[in-house]
Structure formats: C-alpha cells, structure tokens
Amino acid sequence: MLAALRSRRVEKLPDQVMLRGRILFLTEDAALVRRQLDGHDIDWQPATKLRDNISTDEITPAYICYYYDGTLGDFPYLGLKCGDEFPITRGAVKRAGFVASVSGQRRGKGSSREQSPYAEMCAGIKLVVAQSIERIYRENCQNLGVLTTTDFSIIDSVRRGEAIPLSAFTAGEGEITRGIIEYGGLFNFNVARLQGKVVLSSPIGSWTRPRGRSASRRSSRETKGSWSPMSGSATSTSRPWRQSFSSSSWDRTRRCTTPARS
C-alpha cells in the first residue's frame, strides 16, 4: 500500500478555482426552496431570511447514515425544515445541478457525522457559504475537498463564472488546514507529505494541547493528532480524523464528483 501511495499523482490545486453551476439558497421559505429545485434561480437579497442553525441531522438524518458511498448524494437536506415543511426530496439537489449551498448562522451544528458534507459533495456541492460555520463540520468539508467560506461576496463571483483565488479559502488558516485545502482534501495532503512534497515547519504531534476550558474550544486539527506514514493511520480523539485518514474513505470519496477547478 505504501508503494501505491508513493506512486500516486498528487498536486496542489491551481491558484484560481472555477465553480460552475447553480447556487442553492436554503431559505426559511419552503416555496422558495422548491422553486430553486424546479430550476429557477433566485436573485437572493439579505432581506430573504436564510435558515439558521442547520444541523448535520437536517443535512443527513440518522437513517441515511447507513449509506457510506455515493448513494449519499441522493439525500442531502432531506431533514431540512423550512417553516412547517420539508421541501427537499430524495435526488432533488443532485438533479438540479447546484455547485454551492448558502445558509445563515451556525451551519453544521450537532453531531460530527462525516456523512453530511460527503452527501453534499456527492450531490455536486463544491462550495458551502454561511454566515458562520461550526468547526467540526467545516473541517470535515475541508477534509473531503469541499470549500467553505463566510464571505458572501464570493456568491457574485460564482454567479458570474469568475475565477476565485484559492487564497480566499485559505486566508487565516493554520499550516495544516491550509495544506489540506491546497491539496483538495486530507488524503491527498498526507500522500503529498509521504512523497516529501509537503514539509511542515513543526512535526505533527509536537504541539502542546491547549489547557483550560476556553482554550479547549480553540483546539483543532492544528493541535491534535499524529500521522504515521509507516502505518498510514492517525491517532486522535476526533472521529472525523480517524475516518478521513482511512484508505477506504478515500476510495469512497473518489466515486463522487470532485470539485472542478482550473
């Protein structure tokens, strides 16, 4: 397996990314969501209320998590409640050709299930835009190669079909997270490390975990885990890390449509 990893071709993403496709605005208005699913693009304005507090259980309800492959692409947002309705049905997001999904505050709260961004990715979603994004959900997106941002100005760039600097998604990130984004996901990032294309300024595992209650809230992959190129595994208290490092997880991810970038 190590020989196969060392021979795998991995390269950094280009400095500019192109995201071609429609934008899905997850609003509180169920009729407006259904209209988008039917093929109508809306001219969203801030006055149109976006759904806040979208949990991972709304993105992928628990019963959907029995699936573990590209089938998940049929299911994103099946649990999304808009008003008193659940406007999204199986396969609707995938059929509609969306490349980006937009929502309000606290996107991805709740359990740290990796299936949620995986389902979005398999349905064609390559970009998540929200007013705020929960840490574990954001890291799971980044691990899978789904771009995330709280900068709503990027929506106009997607609408116009403009190239977006990759730095728009890496600015302010730590060394590891930046590398994961630049290589299109956690697996490729670690293959690049194995091949010597990535050399970190400090070896993983050399950090001291933050102490105290407030510090623990700031802890992330920049201060957790260790990667062993000999074993091809990670040691961590974070479930998404253990899952994302596995070769089987990567094999499943490859079956989905990967982000189109140029």
Structure confidence by residue, pLDDT tens digits, 103-158: 999 999 998 899 999 999 999 999 999 999 999 999 999 999 999 999 999 999 99
**What are residue 232's DSSP bridge partners?**
none
Full-model pTM: 0.80
| Beta carbons of 106 and 52 less than 8 angstroms apart | yes
**Within a 10 A sphere around the Cβ of 191, how many other Cβ atoms?**
23
pLDDT-derived band at 3 (thresholds 50, 70, 90) equals confident
Q: What is the mean pLDDT of residues 26-51?
A: 96
Q: What letters, b where the CB count within 10 A reaches 16 and e where it falls short, cover 108-133?
A: bbbbbbbbbbbbbbbbbbbbbbbeeb
Give the containing element (helix H, strand E) for 98. Answer: strand 98-103
Give the CATH architecture of domain 2-254.
Alpha-Beta Barrel (3.20)
Using CA atoms in the order 32, 150, 239, 248, what is the torsion angle rounded to 10 degrees?
70
- Render pLDDT for 176-235 as a digit per residue (tens, 0 to 9): 999 999 999 999 999 999 999 999 987 666 555 455 444 334 445 665 543 333 333 333
Residue 10 is predicted with a pLDDT of 87
Higher pLDDT, 87 or 248: 87
